[in-house]
Chain A
Amino acid sequence: MKLRITLPILTAVMLSASVAQAYEPDWKRGRVYYRSVCTSCHVASPVGQINPSGKTKAEWTAYLDADKHDKGKDSVKQYVSKAYRASIKSGNKAAAKFADVPDQELLGDIKSFLLRSAKDGESPASCS
């Protein structure tokens, strides 16, 4: 009797858990996107290079959570979106290579790269 009840419930819980398994960010993919796409605009003055090691982990997290690019003129997400990648992929190999990566995954990858490369991260890194 008890088994008849718990078994299906358990199965349901297990299945939904496996579906919702968290995506494991790939910092290396984040590195390539950051350096090829973000940096390709940010090398030009007056913006200048923005080194991952220029901010702390907390600052990067706050920046990504606020999602304000260019002081709120647009969003950071937009520059990671599939639509943006599609728009630049003819001239940007990284955008072309990652054209089909879901937005959330790529954003996670970039965040993972930035956190490990931040001023207080495991491996502070510059743009190049």
Chain B
Amino acid sequence: MQRIRWTAAALLSGWLALIGASSALAEAAPVKLNTTADHAKFKELQKQFNSGPEVTKACLSCHTEAAGQIHRTKHWTWEFLNPDNQQRLGKKNVMNNFCISISQNYPFCTGCHIGYGWKDKNFDFTSEVNVDCLACHDTTGTYKKPPGLAGNPVVGKPLEMPPGSGKFINPVDLAKVAQKVGRTSRDTCGACHFFGGGGDGVKHGDMDSSLAAPDAELDIHMDAAGLDFTCSTCHKTSSHDVPGSRYKPTATEKHAAHIRGKEKQGNPATCQACHGNTPHKSQVLLRQVRMNTHAEKIACQTCHIPAFARGGVPTKLSWDWSTAGKLDANGKQFTIKDKHGHATYASHKGDFILGEKVKPEYRWFNGDIKYTLLGDKVEKTDMPTPINRIGGSPTDGRSMIWPMKVMHGVQPFDPVNKTLVMPHTAGAGGFWKELNWESAIADGMRNMGAPFSGKVDFIKTEMYWPITHMVAPKDKVVTCAECHAADSRLKGIDGVYMPGYSKFGWLERVGWLVALFAFVGVLIHGGARIVLSLKKAG
């Protein structure tokens, strides 16, 4: 009896199990479609992590080659040797006219390094466990590396930042982040690249937090409700080495569009890599041909990005360090903000000019860039000193007309040695606290082993940023009349004849004369035929 009861119970549960199974089939068992490996299921990641490197160790136990791949990239070395002119570039070496340079500011700048612990120039670049996998592969949006911690996230206890402010940064749940790793996204790339230059949208102008989930109007490719491109859709990466860098941009792309099965040539991040060199299609053949002819000399970006900083986030257009150091009536540092709450003056940084929906400036550009590096001689004149000189001309056969953000600066330099300088700005002893240029520059230059006379003056500088993001929908591109008119966007661009703008007296006179002769000819010929036919009839 007992036995029968048990058997019945067993049968019943078996039957229930079957029902369960069939309904599971009907509803399709939940399965992740965006990955083949659910990292939450890996034992290596089901534990408490007390630091970034502990997570990396776990990652590397399966992804054995990843750290070695990272070590080869600019993202890790912050260094790039330009093969054209042998200039040693990269964030480690260059200066700009924003926060100037990383020398003696490591723990702050390296908040954006994809490593842990780059706190001074003795950082070990061969370390595998100090590679930060999560910075790029976090999907939770909770992994943050605040400035000042040399690229480490906050772990353990909440951290008061800045000290004494009463504002706390909560620790990151490293296990949760590690279990949910995935592909890179606009959010992970943007965590650094949207905030370059010390704040949202500050540096690039065509990259800011509005691109995290943009609409079509802001970027037709990245439109979150549309094509939804991530950064890596264009910056198509292999072996962790992300292509498409501004240290060596591709200004002209002669290769055809990339096609599967064909050997890939060139930079995958250009417009032409997908669209080819004759991208325009129209029902009207003449229009199609005319547009494609434009594409021979004009970069796609020139017409298709009518303005940058279009997403509601302003970008800095000018930074004047020479006015830094003023104090208020109480002897304290102060900030002046515009009506949107963005700083236009700060005691520790000087004056800013911000802009939204900024029309780019246009230049012939062939991709060559030469930086003014530490030690290069500079002269103080009325003309701004170029932080980076861009190459290009209408006749070199490699140039196109490109849109540029031109960043204007006034920054400290050494008037005796005639060089730009790298001041120590952030943290203890830095200019932002002490407001003392001499000691700040002496410290920064000592760290680089560079000479400093002890004298400080200020010099006007400019820096070129080719514009390539924030591609507008096709009905919002630059219209014909914006260039082909007296007040042309391309004002000052030489080497092209632009009907409506260019004034070549003799050429236009010849043209009008030809038209006039043709018209007179038509009148005479037509008149003669009418007269003759009337005569015949009469």
A4 touches B6 (CB 8 A): yes
The answer to whether A11 touches B170, judged by C-beta atoms less than 8 angstroms apart, is no
Contact of A15 (CB < 8 Å), options: B24, B170, B223, B311: B24
Least distance between B159 CB and chain A CB atoms (Å): 14
- Is the pair B13, A93 in contact by a Cβ cutoff of 8 Å? no
* CB nearest to A122 among chain B residues: B142
> Once the chains bind, are B10 and A4 in contact (CB under 8 Å)?
yes
The answer to whether B142 touches A19 (Cβ under 8 A) is no
Interface size range on A against B: 20 to 34
- Contact call A15/B20, Cβ cutoff below 8 A: yes
Q: Which of A1-57 contact B (CB under 8 A)?
A: 1, 4-5, 8-9, 11-12, 15-16, 18-19, 21, 23, 27-28, 31-32, 35-36
Kindly identify which residue among A16, A21, A94, A122 contacts B141, using a CB–CB cutoff of 8 Å: A122
Minimum C-beta distance from A126 to chain B (A) = 9
B312 interface residue (CB < 8 Å to A) = yes
Q: A97 at the A/B interface (Cβ < 8 Å)?
A: yes
Contact call B224/A8, Cβ cutoff below 8 A: no
Please report the C-alpha to C-alpha distance between residue A123 and residue B195 in the assembled complex, in whole angstroms.
15
B23 sits at the interface (CB 8 A) = yes
Selected interface stretch from B209-217, B359-367, B375-383, B422-430: B209-217
Closest residue on chain B to residue A19 by CB atoms: B24
The answer for the CA separation of A11 and B20 in the assembled complex, in Å, is: 9
Q: Is the CB of A19 within 8 A of B27?
A: yes
Chain B 149-188: CB-based contact to A (< 8 A → 1; otherwise 0)? 0000000000000000000001000000000000001010
B289 interfacial contact with A, CB 8 Å: no
Interface string of B1-20 (1 = CB under 8 A from A): 00000110111011011001
* Partner of B6 from A5, A12, A36 at Cβ < 8 Å: A5
Q: Does B21 contact A (CB under 8 A)?
A: yes
The answer to whether A128 has its CB under 8 Å from any CB of chain B is yes
- Interface residue SS majority, chain A: helix
Interchain nearest-CB distance for B433 vs A (Å) = 27
Which residues on the A side are within 8 Å of B14 (C-beta)?
A: 8, 11-12
Query: 1/0 per residue B328-372: CB within 8 Å of A?
Result: 000000000000000000000000000000000000000000000
A116 in the interface (beta carbon within 8 A): yes
Known: A15-B24, A27-B141. A122 touches B17 (CB 8 A): no
Of chain B, the residue at the smallest CB distance from A95 is B225
A21 / chain B contacts, CB cutoff of 8 Å: 30
B226 touches A (CB below 8 Å): yes
Would you call A15 and B21 a contact (CB within 8 A)?
yes
CA distance A21 to B32 in the complex (A): 12
Residues in B with CB closer than 8 Å to A12 are 13-14, 16-17, 20
Partner-B contacts on A (CB < 8 A): 1, 4-5, 8-9, 11-12, 15-16, 18-19, 21, 23, 27-28, 31-32, 35-36, 93-94, 96-97, 116, 122-123, 128
Interface residues of B (CB under 8 A from A): 6-7, 9-11, 13-14, 16-17, 20-21, 23-24, 27, 29-30, 141-142, 170, 185, 187, 210, 213, 215-216, 223-226, 311-312
10 residue pairs of the A-B complex, CB under 8 angstroms, read: A1-B6, A5-B6, A5-B9, A11-B17, A12-B16, A31-B213, A32-B225, A96-B225, A128-B210, A128-B311
